[in-house]
Each structure stands twice: as C-alpha cells, then as structure tokens.
A and B are shown apart, each in its own frame.
Chain A
C-alpha cells in the first residue's frame, strides 16, 4: 500500500474532472420525514455540484443528512422540495416506475452490508441487474464474467455469498454495481463491515474504477481513511453543505 502524505493533491494522479455542466447538480433540496407525528428536517435546502468523473466522499456526524442525500442522488428516495439533476435529468419529476428504470440504467449501488442474494452465486448476483436489459442469457453471462474479472474474482464466480469473505462479497457487489456501465456509482459505507485489509482492497478497487474508467463515485463514510481515498470530501452539518475540500488522495 502506497500512502502519499500531506500537501495538495498530486495533479498527475488525479483523473481529469470534466469541464462543463456537473453530472450531479443539487439545488435547494429539502428533505423532511414524519416521525411520530413530528416533522423532522434532515436536509435544509442543500445545494452542491459533483463533476463527471469525480470521486466524492460525503462525511458528517450522525444526523447530518449524508445518507439521506446519497439516497436522493441514487433515486431511492425523493426530496420534499428542490431540484436534483443527474446527467441533465431532473429525477424529481420522474414517476416511481420511471425512477426504477432510471436507477437500473444509471446507478450502480454498493451497500455497507453488500446486499447480495444469498441463494445466487457470485455470477448470478452480478447478472441480476442485467435482467432488466434486453441482453440475451449468453450476453448477460459474458458481461457478468467480465465484471467479476475486473474485481479479480473470476475464480469464485460459482460461489454463493456464504462461501466468500466479507471483502470478496463487497467486490462481487462492486462488480454488480458496474456491470450495467452506470452513470454514477453510489456507495453507502462500503468498508463499514470490513477489516482493514479488505477495506483497503475495496477502496483501491473504487479508485481504479474512478481512474481507469472515469466512474463518478459518491461515497458516504464515517471513516477518515476511507474518505481519504476520494478526491473530494464534502462535509455536511445539520442538513447543509459545511465544506468542500479537495483531498490528498490516499492510494489503496
């Protein structure tokens, strides 16, 4: 593992952030929940931009709204008010079924607890999102195998999740997330359930996807080390963006 300490981001290592319109544009987004008859305000009119090809970590104390914001970006929740443009499309205007289709095409998910289907093999888990495309069985298999090769799990494709370690399961989840070539990858505490070595492997994989494939990644994390893998760290505090810093990326 090669750690680069202190100072500004090394421009030679940073991927090229695309000029022009941001891929994610959030404008005055408010999100409230009802809890026991009371309205709880989680996001208080937050606004931020994420450029295409950026690897962003969302950090903040518990209750700051970071996971809520990630859910909104991923299209699995809707803001109370505000505008949310992903790749030029205002997803707040989509119906539930349109949003489901949008997610299938545009979003790759990486969950803290992997969320793999226990009865499916690694290959079948990766193949799952491709069922929503028009690909033939053979094409689905080929793409799923390729995705597993990219995460160095080609030799485990017939194993079910309970036959894999935590780190391996998370790599399968990453393969599942990238198999449809999504516009954005959202990761909610992807290393939260992993030991240090596995966490480092996963973060390294995310960095390679960002660097080599130009993947736009938005990651929620509590872990400063995990956040250090990103190029940009956005701090949320009480439902608003508190700070945005370009980091010195820790290479994994």
Chain B
C-alpha cells in the first residue's frame, strides 16, 4: 500500500430536487497510485466533474468512502478545519476557468496556497519564483491575470497547484479554453511535473488527444466507470 495515493470505494452522489432524486455517481470505486497519470473521459453529464469534486474533498458523497495516503485517511470523516488543511497540503486543483484572483499578481497568486497555510510570505517567495520560471513566466511575475493570455493564466494556475508540493493534482477540463498549441504546452508541463516530482494526476477531459497522453484512461457513463 506504500504507493497508494487515493482510494474511492462505492461512491454515490445524489441530488435531491423537490420530490425527485437525481443519481449522478452510482457506485464508483478505484485506486490511484503514486505517479499515476489518469484521464477520465465521458459524455457531458456522465458525472466526471462531480467525481473530481468528491475526490478533492470539495463536495460530500451521499455514500461511500474516500481514503487518502498510506494511512487511509477518510476525507469525509474530517471536520472543515482539518479537511481544508488537508486540501491545502495534499491536493492541487486546476480548472478550465483558471480561477486566479484578479486583484493579485501572478506571483501572489502562486504564493496564495502557502499564505493560506499560514506560512510566511518570505518562505513562499523563492519557491513561487522558481515555479513561475519553470512554467516559463519568469518575466510575467508582476502581471495581473487580466494582463496574461489564456495559456499564461493556465500556466500560473499550474504553478499554483504545485506550490504546496501536493501528492495529487486534480484537473477539470484544464485545456478546454485553450487552442491546440497552448493545450499541448500545458499538458507537457503537467506531464513533466508528473515525471519529475512524482505527483499523481487525475484529469477530466473531453479531448481524446489529451487523454491519449495519459498513462491510463477511465471512461464514465451514467455515473459509473465503464469497464472495457
């Protein structure tokens, strides 16, 4: 179990609206190991993003368990305080819409997870600069998100996602808003992080080219993982 990063067991997620119950996730189970690089594919409404939110501790499953790390910590048995800290320290998130804070520079955005964790700004500064250099934005550190292109914004989001040296990056349609060239560059970047730092990657995408570059592809249909 040394290499286990995440284990999902019999996950269900229902949404209740009025008298009707909508089952989005129907008994999903799978393991993610260290260095894994997995794409989740499926049609719209298959439950891909919802599954990602459950695995990232952003939403609570209706039933089922999510364990993390070799100690098999159950995410949804944690209080908000502990879960927030856990998310901050162990998980990196990248979304289709970069979700950068518009009032802050690229450098400050990258430092944000460290500042949230309560560490000092000086401790975060050098690593944030290093990461921005790594993603090719050395000269754009003091720029605000609105002054960056879509590809550059997504690269800032990637740098922010790895700032805390997470064990797992969860990416939701991260290339959805990018052209093919920028899409290729950010996936290159993500894969290099996977290779060099051993960070596990779980990526939701509609793009077959992107999915084909991952080590493993999971297909979802009607809230279930398709076995092929």
Check if A and B associate: no
